[in-house]
Amino acid sequence: SAVISQKPSRDICQRGTSLTIQCQVDSQVTMMFWYRQQPGQSLTLIATANQGSEATYESGFVIDKFPISRPNLTFSTLTVSNMSPEDSSIYLCSVRQGDTEAFFGQGTRLTVV
Amino acid sequence: GIQVEQSPPDLILQEGANSTLRCNFSDSVNNLQWFHQNPWGQLINLFYIPSGTKQNGRLSATTVATERYSLLYISSSQTTDSGVYFCAVGSGSYQLTFGKGTKLSVIP
């Protein structure tokens, strides 16, 4: 299993600002994923973050809005840029070591006012 | 991409009752997981079960990969079982595709 620490756990932000979410894993992992969960909805994959290469974004998500860093095998950040109320969601990071069980951080509950 | 359907979307149970949640998927999968999302938004891993049957206390799960479905059984439900249960599958790539979830409410 993997222990994932995600920070902050929640935040309230002004529209037009940016928030960076951090995800720290207790072991080295090849693949890290960022998901968004809009209110009352299921989880949607934003991007896959691989160390040493650019993140791969899913349809509907762009790097300018959701820049991702992956400086090493245990850490990643997701930035939500130029926020609007529509960005109010829970953001979760996830890790998976190959074709095995996926684990999730505790999530960041973001409210944009 | 692969489609995941969960049923029922909502379920209300009296404490102590049993329930079965279903997950249907549209294609072959090499990963299937069940999660419980608590009221604080945290996803709790329940089962990693691409095939076969597993049990953990009052919970058990069965995946019949050839027929493309999985079942989650909850016995003797408790109020702490309330929340949303998600089924998520993986096929080929390492990302997971989530169903829309079953919202379970257990009342005393």
Q: Are strands B102-107 and B97-98 parallel, antiparallel or unpaired?
A: unpaired
The residue ranges of every structural domain in chain B are: 4-107
* Shortest Cα distance, chain B CAs vs residue A61, angstroms: 15
Nearest residue in B to A100, CA atom:
B31
Report how far Cα A2 is from the mean position of its chain's Cα atoms: 16
Enumerate the residues of chain B whose CB falls inside 8 A of the CB of residue A23.
Answer: none
pLDDT at B91: 83
Question: Closest Cα partner for A93 from A70, A110, A69, A77?
Answer: A77
Q: Do A43 and B30 touch (CB under 8 A)?
A: no
Percent of chain A predicted with pLDDT > 70: 100
Please compute the mean of the pLDDT values over residues B24-38 and round it to a whole number: 95
Q: Which residues of A2-112 form beta strands (DSSP E)?
A: 4-7, 10-13, 19-25, 31-37, 43-50, 56-57, 68-72, 75-80, 89-96, 103-104, 108-112
Please compute the mean of the pLDDT values over residues A19-33 and round it to a whole number: 94
Query: What CATH number belongs to A28-100?
Result: 2.60.40.10
Q: Do B100 and A99 touch (CB under 8 A)?
A: no
Candidate from A31, A42, A94 with C-beta closest to B86: A42
Q: Do A106 and B42 touch (CB under 8 A)?
A: yes
Report how far Cα A23 is from the mean position of its chain's Cα atoms: 7
Asked whether residue A10 carries a pLDDT value surpassing 80, the answer given is yes
pLDDT at A66: 98
Q: Do B100 and A42 touch (CB under 8 A)?
A: yes
Query: What CATH number belongs to B4-107?
Result: 2.60.40.10
Residue A53 contacts by C-beta under 8 Å, 6 or more apart in sequence? none
Report how far Cα A29 is from the mean position of its chain's Cα atoms: 15
Enumerate the residues of chain A whose CB falls inside 8 A of the CB of residue B35.
Answer: 104
pLDDT bin (cut points 50, 70, 90) of residue B40 is confident
Percent of chain B predicted with pLDDT > 90: 89
pLDDT at B55: 98
Asked whether residue A48 carries a pLDDT value surpassing 90, the answer given is yes
A52-72 pLDDT, tens per residue?
888 999 999 999 999 999 999
pLDDT at B95: 84
The residue ranges of every structural domain in chain A are: 28-100
Question: Closest Cα partner for B28 from B47, B48, B45, B50?
Answer: B50
